[in-house]
Amino acid sequence: MLGSRIAHLRKIHGMSQCELASRINVSTSALGMYEQNRREPSLAVLIKLAQELNATTDYLLTGTLKQESILQSHSYLKEINSITLLDQLLQQQLSKEEIVSIIISILEN
């Protein structure tokens, strides 16, 4: 259902209800109601949700993904994984040469 897809994507993006509600200019309560399927967002809010959650309105409404959406999601997840990996590398206090070597191997894949 629409509400569960909104909640799922919000969590994937690491956003609280308060943060997403602020980004789409609705109250936290309204967003909670959307997520619980107790209220439906307007078309304007649905579009804002899709933009903030890096999804299509088709996906939010129907749960189906088009090939283009799948490719965009894959690219986005790859970016997040790379950022997470880079952050982990920096925390390990590796030498500059080791970090560069690892980054080059990531970019080659």
Half-sphere exposure of 37 (CA within 13 A, CB side): 7
Indicate the pTM of the whole model.
0.61
Mean pLDDT of the residues in the chain = 81
What Rg value do the Cα atoms of the chain yield, rounded?
18
Q: How many helices (H) and strands (E) does the chain have?
A: 7, 0
**Which residue, 89, 109, 87, 88, is CA-closest to 98?**
89
Give the pLDDT score at 61: 92
**Per residue in 1-39, pLDDT tens?**
999 999 999 998 899 999 999 999 999 999 999 999 999
Q: What is the mean pLDDT of residues 76-87?
A: 62
